[in-house]
Amino acid sequence: MIPVLFADEHFIIINKPHDLLSVPGKGPEKQDCVGRRIQAESHPTARIVHRLDYATSGLMVLALTADSLVQLSRLFQEHKMCKRYHAIISGTPTEDNGIIEQPLRCDWERRPLQMIDHDKGKYALTRWERIETLTDSTRVFLYPQTGRSHQLRVHMLWMGHPITGDRFYADEKALSLSDRLMLHAEELSFTHPYTQEPLSFLAEAPF
């Protein structure tokens, strides 16, 4: 069963396993997903508010009512959901922290891959900080300030340090360092849209 870390009458917080779709895809082999599992296991009215990539693990919020879906979606749209990701990237950055501002768009010839495009891309910003230097890789925290598809994965690639185990963007060395994408949505903080209570949830990275 997918772990449910918090639940009230408005929404739930879950810890998504890696290699699981957030929503169903096209074809019978892509019907297993977070939304359907949660509906079957514990919360029949649960609805997806936002997505994590298939290969990414970590915290997700699911709405339990139509109104909470609207309220929570608005928090994401207004960038009022504070997210921290835990990742392991290939190599060692020369700096301890930084900001990446590189616009992104779909790479139509290689969908669903994304690419940097300064003419047609949408604004994307990521803050990052080094946590630990490992033998051939580095443990980092990533703070996306926008929510573009594959944003963290492409921004780390642009920096020259792809996330290890990334089957879409990693080079051969980075791919060989892990058998899974080393990216986990570890912390999520926001103000409860109904009670106005500040909330913070943590699901430590399993790597």
Residue 74: pLDDT over 90? yes
- Are 152 and 85 within 8 A, CB to CB? yes
Each residue's pLDDT tens digit, 144-193: 999 999 999 999 999 999 999 999 999 999 999 999 999 999 999 999 99
Instruction: Indicate the residue type of 73.
Output: S
**Confidence label for 28 from pLDDT (cuts 50, 70 and 90):** confident
Which pLDDT score, from 0 to 100, does residue 16 have?
A: 99
Residue 69 in any domain: the answer is yes
Q: Which of 55, 81, 107 is the last residue of a domain?
A: 81
Residue 26: pLDDT over 90? no
Q: How far apart are CA 72 and CA 7, in angstroms?
A: 14
Which pLDDT score, from 0 to 100, does residue 195 have?
A: 98
Which pLDDT score, from 0 to 100, does residue 49 have?
A: 98
Residue 189 in any domain: the answer is no
Q: Assess whether 56 and 89 both reside in one domain.
A: no
Domains in the chain, number = 2
Residue 27: pLDDT over 90? no
Residue 47 in any domain: the answer is yes
Q: How far apart are CA 1 and CA 4, in angstroms?
A: 9
Q: Which of 17, 50, 81 is the last residue of a domain?
A: 81
Which pLDDT score, from 0 to 100, does residue 45 have?
A: 98
Residue 201 in any domain: the answer is no
Residue 89: pLDDT over 90? yes
Rg (CA), the chain: 17
Which pLDDT score, from 0 to 100, does residue 44 have?
A: 98
> Which of 19, 32, 53, 179 does the annotation list as catalytic?
53
Which pLDDT score, from 0 to 100, does residue 55 have?
A: 98
Active site residue 67: no
Taking residues 79-84, what's their average pLDDT?
Answer: 97
Which pLDDT score, from 0 to 100, does residue 29 have?
A: 85
Q: What percent of the chain has pLDDT over 70?
A: 100
Which pLDDT score, from 0 to 100, does residue 198 have?
A: 99
Whole-angstrom CA distances from 108 to 52, 105, 111 are 20, 9, 5
Each residue's pLDDT tens digit, 103-147: 999 999 999 999 999 999 999 999 999 999 999 999 999 999 999
- Are 52 and 5 within 8 A, CB to CB? no
Mean pLDDT of all residues belonging to the chain:
98
Pairing of strands 57-63, 47-48: antiparallel
- At 22, which CATH number? 3.30.2350.10
Rounded to two decimals, what is the model's pTM?
0.96
Query: Where in the sequence is the domain holding 30, given as residue range(s)?
Result: 4-81
